[in-house]
Structure 1
Amino acid sequence: MVLMTKLYKLAALLAVTLLMAACGSFDGEEEQGPAPLLDFDIERKFVKVWSTSVGDGQGYLYNRLTPVVDGETIYVAASDGQVDAISKSTGKTLWSNSVDKFVVGGIGVGDDILLLGTVKGEVIALNKSDGELIWTEKVGGEILAAPQTDNARVYVQTFDGQLIGLDIETGERVWSYRHTLPVLTLRGTSTPLIFRNAIIAGFANGQVVSFDAETGAVRWSVRVAVAKGDSEIQRIIDIDSAIFEDNGTVYTVSYQGKIAAIEPASGRKLWSNDASSHVGMSSGFGNIYVSGEDGSVTAFEKSGQGARWAQTVFSRRKLSGSATLSSYVIVGDFEGYIHALSQVDGHIAARTRVDSSGIQVDLQTFDNKLLVYSNDGKLVAYKLEEPK
């Protein structure tokens, strides 16, 4: 995570240093290192199906460029502007193109287009069949989350607090909304959720807002987290995790705040529990899985009865957002390891190392396989099998 201020939004490297120092020293104690990896009884093993590389991956900033599985193809972008279409069955590159831009948000997928966001606040629309440019539209601040589309409009959330609807054919602005940023905020934005004819987005002030997709009119707003503490760092409550929908319920989690379940038509909060995260969630076995800022993985019961279990052996290992595969929930960490935990009780069942660059992008699954995109651009598909 990277701390940014409204005055120094472009000083990314300095902000990284400041936040790393601050996060480990709220109470004046010296920052602890990551927890060592513990031995465990191996129940499953990760088997590599295929592997390929895409540009420079996440680049040198804290980006979360996320692959998308669409039909038989995986679309993925790198921060250096490379965009690839990859066969999900073989890992072979179907086409590759470059937009010659510093890409920090993506990748969004529609029926016929791919969508990217740049560090200069440009939305780029590409032809899905070959990666050729359709249009570019400058909208404002950095676009750190993948633009989304319902094939009528494109919806873009920017780091400077805007949510914008664009015409899908031309890129022209149809509507916009802006909220006031807190004094300090994490470098990131939530990925908006398209749900029926609404756009649901989370903001840096701890609020989730639902908008009419056509007009941008606010339908409802609900506060997920309330800022607490004496310092501005302690009062950061950003919602940077992608808004997550499961079986008709919307889930969101904030940094230093809460996980909440929301009824999407009315905005009624169904339940909430203490949590702190800025990465994506997953679901399975009646649970919502949260990778916490402290390195914990917690299974919250969908019923709202609280935590079913919590695995705490990954302290300070900077976990990725999770994905579920078979009876396991899987997370990545800053050293490039992926860990499979039992969905029943959280015990460790499998581990392997993808590479040494780390994994900060949410994991994904397709066709009973796991998809991992490392920080250096290594894209790998794995199966989980019983050890021989």
Structure 2
Amino acid sequence: MIVSLGVLISACGIFSDDEVEQPRELVDIDASVELEELWTANIGNGQGDSYLHLGPSIDGQYIYAAANNGEVYSLNKETGDRQWQRDTDDVISGAIGVGGGMVVYGTLDAQVVALDADNGDELWRSSVSSEILAAPQTDGRRVVAQTVDGRLLALDAENGEQVWAYESSVPALSLRGSSKPIITGNTVVSGFANGMVAALDATDGFIMWEERVAVPQGRYDIERIIDIDGDPVLIGGTVYVGSFQGNLMGLDLQSGRIVWGMPGSTYRSLTLGLGNVYWANSESHLFAVQNNTDSEVWENDDLRLRRVTSPVAFNNYLAVGDFEGYLHLLSQIDGRIVGRTRVDSDGLRSNIVADGRMLYVYGNSGRLVAYRLP
């Protein structure tokens, strides 16, 4: 059974005076950073009516984005000019990956679809075992995708035929979401709803290592949820990952050996900068922890329960979005909110993309906005 975060928060009992605690109201800030809006594009119906995380991806000079109603766009990342648009008949639920000259996405009716990155023409589509909620990834040789039934599948990028499959156990109850796999060299790394991270050989699916990030605790299924929904992040030779109601860990890419770890509950991705690991816990408190230690540098609870996106390191700042559609900039040094702008009144859910001095923010309604530090 898959549950949304809102249902989970209510069920877990975050209460105040016998009523569910409400998200913290925003207070005025003394802004010291003003982002410059460069361009805006409308991408179909955006996230649609389901709890999806359809994030954009950058490759070279272009940014690619997809909407739940099947629209896929390629835009010049500097100007927002449209390279191409395709109106597919798909209900897109996992988007978007790009690499090796192709754009790939997953659908609600269990298909992986590959388009030509230059013109949007369909190259192939392949049926898989169940729906896909995270963006497939490709290096031009393999396309890898995680399905909600706990499988990680590798497809031949030439024709979409399945090459290998890895199966993980699926808990009785889990969050609605999946971890996006990463491909680096000849290694595929992904996290799963059972709290495991696995690294596999991209050629044949040979298991290089498996490591448990979290162990289920408690009597009831809802207490035992330990999903890894945040995407693994590779920095140097270390894979950083966190689990819900579990731990944060840094794992050696080659061996899976734990090189850093601490308790923490998150359903978002981690990020690094200025010698710190940054993360948002399941109550949307933001933290900076000195890398390779459990020493807390700062904590900011100004956005408590505002369902923030994964923090993204951006120059000397962290960028996060929230459920009311505000984009917040925090100082990496002390965690103060130093800038804020509203992007989409329907909210922000998909991860923000940073590229040099540029930020790309994709709102729930389908509004894609490019910002630049002045």
Report the TM range for the smaller structure's normalisation.
over 0.9
- In the TM superposition, residue 29 of structure 1 has moved relative to its aligned partner by 4.4
- Whole-angstrom distance in 1 between the partners of 2:57 and 2:232: 16
Tell whether 2:55 aligns with 1:66: yes
Give the corresponding residue for 2:246: 257
> Where do 1:51-130 residues align within 5 Å?
51-130=40-119
Give the corresponding residue for 1:149: 138
Helix, strand or coil at the partner of 2:225: coil
Task: Indicate the percent of aligned positions where both proteins have the same amino acid.
Answer: 40
Q: In structure 1, list runs of 5 or more residues that go unmatched.
A: none
Q: TM-score, normalised by structure 1?
A: 0.93
> Where do 1:339-358 residues align within 5 Å?
339-358=328-347
- Whole-angstrom distance in 2 between the partners of 1:195 and 1:76: 22
Tell whether 2:372 aligns with 1:372: no
Give the corresponding residue for 2:270: 281
Aligned amino acid, residue 353 of structure 1: R
Aligned amino acid, residue 279 of structure 1: R
Give the corresponding residue for 1:361: 350
Residues 17 and 73 of structure 1, relative CA distance in 2, 3 Å threshold: closer
> Where do 1:280-299 residues align within 5 Å?
280-299=269-288
> Where do 1:5-44 residues align within 5 Å?
5=1, 18-25=7-14, 29-44=18-33
- Whole-angstrom distance in 2 between the partners of 1:360 and 1:177: 28
- In the TM superposition, residue 111 of structure 1 has moved relative to its aligned partner by 1.8
Helix, strand or coil at the partner of 1:19: helix
Tell whether 2:295 aligns with 1:306: yes
Tell whether 2:332 aligns with 1:330: no
- Whole-angstrom distance in 2 between the partners of 1:102 and 1:31: 33
Segment drifting more, 31-40 vs 274-283: 274-283
- In the TM superposition, residue 195 of structure 1 has moved relative to its aligned partner by 2.2
Residues 26 and 350 of structure 1, relative CA distance in 2, 3 Å threshold: closer
Give the corresponding residue for 2:193: 204
- Whole-angstrom distance in 2 between the partners of 1:23 and 1:356: 27
- In the TM superposition, residue 167 of structure 1 has moved relative to its aligned partner by 0.9
Matched residues, number: 374
- Whole-angstrom distance in 2 between the partners of 1:94 and 1:151: 21
Helix, strand or coil at the partner of 1:45: coil
CA contact (8 A) 1:250 1:264 kept: yes
Tell whether 2:212 aligns with 1:223: yes
Q: CA RMSD in A?
A: 1.7
Q: TM-score, normalised by structure 2?
A: 0.96
CA contact (8 A) 1:291 1:297 kept: yes
- Whole-angstrom distance in 1 between the partners of 2:167 and 2:363: 33
Helix, strand or coil at the partner of 2:248: strand
- In the TM superposition, residue 170 of structure 1 has moved relative to its aligned partner by 1.0
CA contact (8 A) 2:248 2:264 kept: yes
Tell whether 2:248 aligns with 1:248: no
- Whole-angstrom distance in 2 between the partners of 1:384 and 1:270: 34
Tell whether 2:261 aligns with 1:272: yes
- In the TM superposition, residue 274 of structure 1 has moved relative to its aligned partner by 1.7
- Whole-angstrom distance in 2 between the partners of 1:144 and 1:185: 13
- In the TM superposition, residue 173 of structure 1 has moved relative to its aligned partner by 0.8
Give the corresponding residue for 2:155: 166
Segment drifting more, 160-169 vs 284-293: 284-293
